[in-house]
Chains A and B, each alone.
Chain A
Amino acid sequence: MPVRCKSGDDDRVTSVMDGASLERAERPSPADAFQRYVVPEIPSLLRVGRTLTRDPDDAEDLVQDTLLRAYRSMSTFDGMHPRAWLFTILRHTHINRNRRRRPELLENPDDVDAVPEARPSDPAELTERAAFRDAVIEAIRALPIKMRVVVELVDLESFSYAEAATALGVPIGTVMSRLHRGRRRIREQLTASGLDNGRSGSR
């Protein structure tokens, strides 16, 4: 059954709404799209932002700037791959903030190991699962920042490789390589701590 609708202020009637028109009609307003695509991602933005900045207050400022930029870009956002789009904004915002404030951090982020945050725990008092989880957290915090962000995007935030590649502005092969090396390092650290039976070869 044809969809009949009025077009504009005059009384011209479009007998059949074509696909493009339908798509336009279904596209949410920028404010609605912001609520739909951006707001649910705030926890993820904050987690990744914290990894990028290594400072909770900086992370909050970064996410706030990202939200503002995302909101201003909503009218031009095509609705495709919203997470990759949003995290690309986060990455660009982070780069721009560092360029203004701390240019030295852009030199070679791979050389900068994340400073492990103090997290005292006594594994004997924890369940095995919690001890394992804590060890994984400790291991991921020890990764170089570029590896850590990829592992977080894929494992914590459930990004596909393609989404992570878009968000980080790198080829998929780079995502796979960083992910592979990052997880291998985590596994090696767990094995060294006696928490993983990784004797079967790590490659």
Chain B
Amino acid sequence: MKGSESMGERLRARGACLVVRRRLQPHLDGELDAARAAAVTDHLTRCDRCRRQLESFARIKIALREAAGATMSPKDQVALRRLRRFADGLGDDSAP
């Protein structure tokens, strides 16, 4: 009896994990509504596996943010300056 209860609990927990994992990335991106976000947050306080997965995606997101600055090579920086000058030149054309 106790065994079947624990299996039922495990199945419920697994079902909850499946739902939450579909929502982990939208949660990370701030795309969930308040109720769903709260449900995910609540689940994460009780589930190490889902929390580790969220942390893993969060690390990737943070690394990509950092990479946005780090991947600008000197050549890119020169291109950027040329493009800014080009953009400023367009503005100058509108002057009377």
Contact = CB atoms under 8 A, between A and B. Distances in A.
B80 A200 contact: no
Interface of A: 30-31, 34-35, 38-39, 42-43, 45-47, 50, 56, 59-60, 63-64, 67-68, 71, 129, 132-133, 136-137, 140, 151-152, 154-157, 160-161, 176, 179-180, 183, 186-187, 190, 196-198, 200-203
Nearest to B17: A201
Most buried by A among B63, B67, B70, B94: B63
Main secondary structure of the interface of B (DSSP, over half): helix
A202 B57 CA distance: 10
B84 A176 contact: no
Interface of B: 21, 25-26, 29, 31, 48-50, 52-53, 56-57, 59-61, 63-68, 70-72, 75-76, 79-80, 82-84, 86-88, 90-91, 94-95
A133 B62 CA distance: 9
A2 B70 CA distance: 52
A101 B21 CA distance: 43
Contact of B52 (A46, A60, A190, A200): A200
A34 B93 CA distance: 13
A39 B29 CA distance: 25
Contact of A136 (B67, B75, B94, B95): B67
Contacts of A64: 83, 86
A59 B78 CA distance: 13
Given A34-B87, A46-B76, A67-B90, A197 B56 contact: yes
A201 B83 contact: no
Top 8 A-B residue pairs of the complex, sorted by shortest distance between their CB atoms: A200-B49, A155-B64, A136-B63, A133-B63, A156-B68, A31-B94, A60-B79, A71-B90
Contact of B84 (A42, A156, A157, A203): A42
B90 A198 contact: no
Nearest to B30: A160
B63 A132 contact: yes
A198 B53 contact: yes
A155 B56 contact: no
A198 B73 CA distance: 31
